[in-house]
Amino acid sequence: MEDFEAGKVLHGEEVLENARGIPSYINGFIKAADEEDDVELVGVLAASRSRGGSSGSWLTEECFDKYSQGIADGLRDAGELDGVLLALHGAMAATGYPRPEAEIVRRARVAVGDAPIMVTLDLHANEDGELTDAADAVFILKTYPHVDSEDIGYTAARCMIDTLRGEFKPTMALRKPGVMTPSVYQGTGESPAREIMDRVRAWERREENCYCVSVAFGFAYADVPDVGATVIAVTNDDEGLAEKIAEDVSGYIWSLREPFAGKKLPKTSEGVAQAIKLAKAGETPVIVADHSDRMGDSTHVLRELMRQGATDFCVATISDEAAIKKLGKSRVGDTVQVKVGGHADTYSGEPVTIRGTLEYLGDCSFVLTGPMSRGDTRRLGVSAVLGFGENNHVILTPTLHQVLDDAIFPAVGLSLDDLDIVAIKSRVHFRAFYNDAAGSIVVVDAPGLGPADLSQHTYMNIPGDIYPVGEKWRK
C-alpha cells in the first residue's frame, strides 16, 4: 500500500481532473460524456501509479482489499448511478485472489446492483470467463505501444451511453487460444501481432452488429491461472455472431503459435556489437532496448558497452537509490567514484564501478512529449547523471524508469543529438517515439526477470496445456 500511496491515489473529482487532456481511458470517457448534454461522470478512485511502476510484484491481500473495496464503497457513496466504467489493467496478481479484476467487478456489482458495468483493459491482460461473467462488456487496447487508450475509453463510454438509452444490448463471447508469448514479441507493428489485429479490425468492418473485437496477448510473467491470450467479441444482441468471431480469432492465434512464441533475439554481447557497428555507420542514435530488466538495475548492457569500448553512449536508466544517496554528499562537477546497479536479484549482473564526473543531481521531473501519454508529468524523484570516458553517461533513478520519448534527456542536462548509442529498459513502448526518432534499433535479450525464453521461469499456477511452457509442452 505504501508504494501506491507514494505514487498518489486519487479520489473523487481529482480522478477526472488528473486525466483530462491526457490520452488515457478516462479521458476517452470524458470525451464521450462531453458530447452529450445529459451525461455526468462521477470520479471514484484511481490507484494506478505505484512506486516502481511495473517492477512491482504480487499485491498483498490487504492492499487489494483496500483499493478494490475503496472502489466499491465509492460507488455506493456516489448515490444512484446508471452505469459504471472501470479502467483496469488486467495483469494484476494478488495474493488470495486468483482473478483479481473479476473480483473488482464483482465487488462493484454488489455496490450498484443491476447497473451495467463496462471494463477497459490493457493489451497484456490475463483474463478468462470470470471477468466476462461479471461485466456487461469488456474492451481491450489494440495497439502496443499503447497509443489507443483514449480511443478504447471512448468506445467503452459510447457503448455505455447507447446501452443506457436502450439502443444497444451488449452481448459477449470469450475464447482462450491457449498461447503465452513474451511481451517483447507482442508489438502490434510487427508480425504476427500485426496480422492478428488486422483480422480483428476486418471483423469489425464486415459485420454491422459487431461492435468491438478485442485481443489481449496476456502477460507471461504473472504465474496465474488465467494467463495467456484472450479473445473477447462484443456484439449488439447477437450471441451467435459473437461466438463465431471469438472462435475464428482464437483459432487464428493458435495457428500462429510457433512464429509468435518462438522468435529469437541477439544476446547482450552480440546486440551491443551490432549497436557499435551501426553507430560507426552513422545510423544514430542507435537505441539498444534491454527488454528483460523488470527491476531497472541490470548492468549487463552497461558492462558490455564499456567492455567493447563504445563511446558517446548513455544508459537511461539504472535504478539505484543507494548510489544516488551516496552521490548526495557530492556537488555537480565533482569527480566521483561509485558502484551502480546489480543489487535487486541474481539476474541483475554485478555492480559496475563508475569513476567520472557528477553531471546532474536533483529532483527530476518532466512532461512526456511522445505519442504515449503525451502531456503527462513524470516525477522520478532525486536522480543523478554520471559522465565518464568519451562522452559516456549513466542516468541513475531511484526506481525503474521506462523511457518512452526524449523528454528525460534535457531534464537532466543531456541532448539526444550528442549521443550515438542510447541504452534503455523497454520492450515495445519506446517504439511509439523512436521508430521515427532513432537511426536504428537493436533489441537485446539480456538476462532478466522478463526473458524472451519463457522456459527460464518455473510456473506453478498456469494451465498445463498452454503453449509453449505448460506441462504438456515441456520436453
Question: What integer pLDDT is reported at residue 269 of this predicted model?
Answer: 98
Span 124-133, mean pLDDT?
A: 98
Count of structural domains, the chain: 2
Cβ atoms of 427 and 275 closer than 8 Å: no
Check residue 5 and give its pLDDT: 73
Can you give the pLDDT at residue 53? 57
pLDDT tens by residue, 3-53 = 777 778 999 999 999 999 999 999 999 999 999 999 999 999 999 877 655
- Determine, yes or no, domain membership for 468: no
Q: Do residues 232 and 313 share a domain? A: no
Residue with the bigger pLDDT between 51 and 130: it is 130
Whether 136 maps to a domain, the answer reads yes
Q: What is the pLDDT of residue 4?
A: 77
Q: Are residues 291 and 423 in the same domain?
A: yes
Q: Can you give the pLDDT at residue 8?
A: 83
Read off the pLDDT band of 56 (50, 70, 90).
low
Same domain, 110 and 150: yes
Residue range 71-118, pLDDT digits in tens = 999 999 999 999 999 999 999 999 999 999 999 999 999 999 999 999
The model's pLDDT over 316-337, given as tens digits with 9 standing for 90+, comes to: 999 999 999 999 999 999 999 9
Q: How many CB atoms lie within 10 A of CB 455?
A: 12
Residue 48 in any domain: the answer is yes
pLDDT tens digit sequence for 145-196: 999 999 999 999 999 999 999 999 999 999 999 999 999 999 999 999 999 9
Per residue in 210-246, pLDDT (tens digit) is 999 999 999 999 999 999 999 999 999 999 999 999 9
- Asked, for residue 110, whether it belongs to a domain, the answer is yes
Q: Are residues 105 and 245 in the same domain?
A: yes
pLDDT score, position 6: 73
Q: What is the reported pLDDT for 225?
A: 96
Identify whether 58 is part of a domain: yes
- Could you report the per-residue pLDDT of 386-396, keeping only the tens digit for each? 999 999 999 99
Q: Are residues 76 and 209 in the same domain?
A: yes
- With respect to residue 474, please indicate whether it lies within any of the assigned structural domains: no
Is the model's pLDDT at 55 over the cut of 90? Answer: no
Domain boundary among 261, 278, 294: 261
Please provide the average confidence, as pLDDT, over all residues in the chain.
95
Residues 253, 377 within the same domain: no
Alpha-carbon span 459 to 384, nearest angstrom: 37
Is 40 contained in some domain? yes
Do 273 and 412 fall into the same domain?
A: yes
Do residues 318 and 234 share a domain? no
Question: At a CB cut-off of 8 Å and minimum separation 6, what does 329 contact?
Answer: none
pLDDT in the model for residue 474:
85
Q: What is the pLDDT of residue 1?
A: 72
Question: Is there a single domain that holds both residue 273 and residue 256?
Answer: no
Residue 2: the pLDDT is: 74
237 shares a domain with 205: yes
User: Do 239 and 278 sit in the same domain of this protein?
Assistant: no
Summarize pLDDT for 395-426 with one digit per residue, the tens.
999 999 999 999 999 999 999 999 999 999 99
Closest to 392 (Cα-Cα) out of 432, 354, 430: 354
pLDDT at 75: 97
Q: Is the pLDDT of residue 125 over 60?
A: yes
127 and 26 in a single domain? The answer is yes
Q: What is the pLDDT of residue 329?
A: 93
Whether the Cβ atoms of residue 444 and residue 315 lie closer than 8 Å to each other: no
Provide the residue range defining the domain that includes 165.
2-261
Domain boundary among 240, 261, 282: 261
Tell me: pLDDT of 313 over 80.
yes
Of 210, 231, 261, which marks where a domain is finished?
261
Residue 54 has pLDDT above 60, yes or no: no
Q: Does residue 196 belong to any structural domain of this protein?
A: yes
What's the average model confidence in pLDDT over 132-152? 97
